[in-house]
Chains A and B, each alone.
Chain A
Amino acid sequence: MIIPLGYQETAVSPNLNSSKASRNVEAYWSFTALDTGESIVLPDGRCDVILRFNIHSTTPPVPIITGPATRAYTVLYKPGDSWLGVRLRPCHGSLLWGKDITDAADKVLRQEEALAVMPTLAKLHRGGLSETALASAVEQCSAFSQAYQINEKLMEALDLVHLSAGRLRIENLAELVGCSSRHLNRMFQMAVGLSVKTYGQLVQFHRALSLISNQNMPITTAALEAGYTDHAHLSRSFKRFGSFSPSKLPDGLSQPGVLS
């Protein structure tokens, strides 16, 4: 996996830090381009709060809020282009989007639309941009400061999806956490913004990609280990979530720190 030069990520462990934002945030990340190029950002089913700016320019940062991503997108950059971002935990998409989360997949809000969702981002100016400043803006946002009851069944189901790398069916997941499939799917739609099936397929895709790119596993072997029926099934998943073929992995893939 080729992660572009200048990409940095700090995972947030909810056990080590008990501040309000830390329970909602999965990672802080930043990327500053040193040259001209492009990078494919793979979908991870999470929502991000992002500030985009150029370190050589005085133009104010552009606030961006994304819905849960299910499609790859290509980012073009030139020297000095920078992104500072917060990746939310998958179950916290609804903190940003409220009821609109059910229709937020792959949506992107910029500028005023993003500020309408998180007005505290307007306080961030070019001079004082940092992880800490962004964390503080996120924490001060009213939606995040409200007491937020995390549904334990949803959290447990998400853990099980990751543990099985998307291979447990919704009926199994529902049985394990003790609710109906219909209720589980509804909880996913209302909090993550994706169906259980789509979220599981994303996790499955990331594991298969990791087996091929990090372990150099032959595609057919990786397909079976990741739970696809065959090579063609894996290829369709790669086309859908990555827009590339498993035999021709593009350079410049930016894989979020959520491998499986």
Chain B
Amino acid sequence: MKLGYTIIYVANVPDTVAFYERAFDLKRRFIHESNLYAEMETGNTALAFAGDETAEMSGLAIRPNRAESLAAGWEICLVCDDVESAYSRAVDEGCTPISKPAQKPWGQAVSYVRDINGCLVEIASPVSSSE
């Protein structure tokens, strides 16, 4: 077994992809013509977005990801060298600031925002780089 995809159910897939490009400087791999599925260019383990209605089609029942709701109990962690500017960019593009960049004792800079769907996104530096 290996981790294949992280798929986040969202109300609007194209809007979310465009937002992730602007706010987090990720690139899209593709958006399916149905606009119900998309993958970002994140290497071997794809970060993907699926339309809410596809959850129902698969027989699932979910608590929808919405900015108005309490955040779900999991997060995406994006790693970069310049956490300060990545955090500022994300907030400037419309992320909700939750926790501004802070230096951790183990040498990592860590910050948190919520994206347009209310999902928690951690923006952090690589653990090993500061040591």
A residues contacting B by CB (< 8 A) are 159-160, 162-168, 172, 175-176, 178, 207, 210-211, 214-215, 225-227, 259-260
In whole angstroms, what is the CA distance A163 to B63 when docked?
8
Contact of A167 among B55, B56, B61 (CB under 8 A): B61
> Known contacts being A159-B52, A163-B52, A259-B59, is A175 close to B68, with CB within 8 Å?
yes
Interface contact tally, CB-CB below 8 A:
42
The reply to whether B61 and A260 form a contact with Cβ atoms under 8 Å apart is: yes
Q: Which of A164, A207, A210, A227 has the most CB of B within 10 A?
A: A164
How far is the CB of B96 from the nearest CB of chain A, in Å?
A: 16
In whole angstroms, what is the CA distance A110 to B83 when docked?
69
How far is the CB of A11 from the nearest CB of chain B, in Å?
A: 11
Q: Which of chain A's residues have a CB closer than 8 A to the CB of B66?
A: 176
The reply to whether B61 and A160 form a contact with Cβ atoms under 8 Å apart is: no
In whole angstroms, what is the CA distance A47 to B52 when docked?
25
How far is the CB of B100 from the nearest CB of chain A, in Å?
A: 27
6 smallest CB-CB distances across A and B, nearest first, come from A165-B61, A163-B52, A163-B64, A162-B56, A176-B66, A164-B61
The reply to whether B61 and A210 form a contact with Cβ atoms under 8 Å apart is: no
CB of B69 closer than 8 Å to a CB of A: yes
The reply to whether B59 and A210 form a contact with Cβ atoms under 8 Å apart is: yes
Contact of B56 among A163, A172, A226 (CB under 8 A): A163
The reply to whether B59 and A260 form a contact with Cβ atoms under 8 Å apart is: yes
How far is the CB of A184 from the nearest CB of chain B, in Å?
A: 14
How far is the CB of A75 from the nearest CB of chain B, in Å?
A: 27
Q: Which of chain B's residues have a CB closer than 8 A to the CB of A260?
A: 56, 59, 61
Q: Which of A160, A163, A211, A225 has the most CB of B within 10 A?
A: A163
In whole angstroms, what is the CA distance A165 to B69 when docked?
17
Q: Which of chain B's residues have a CB closer than 8 A to the CB of A210?
A: 59
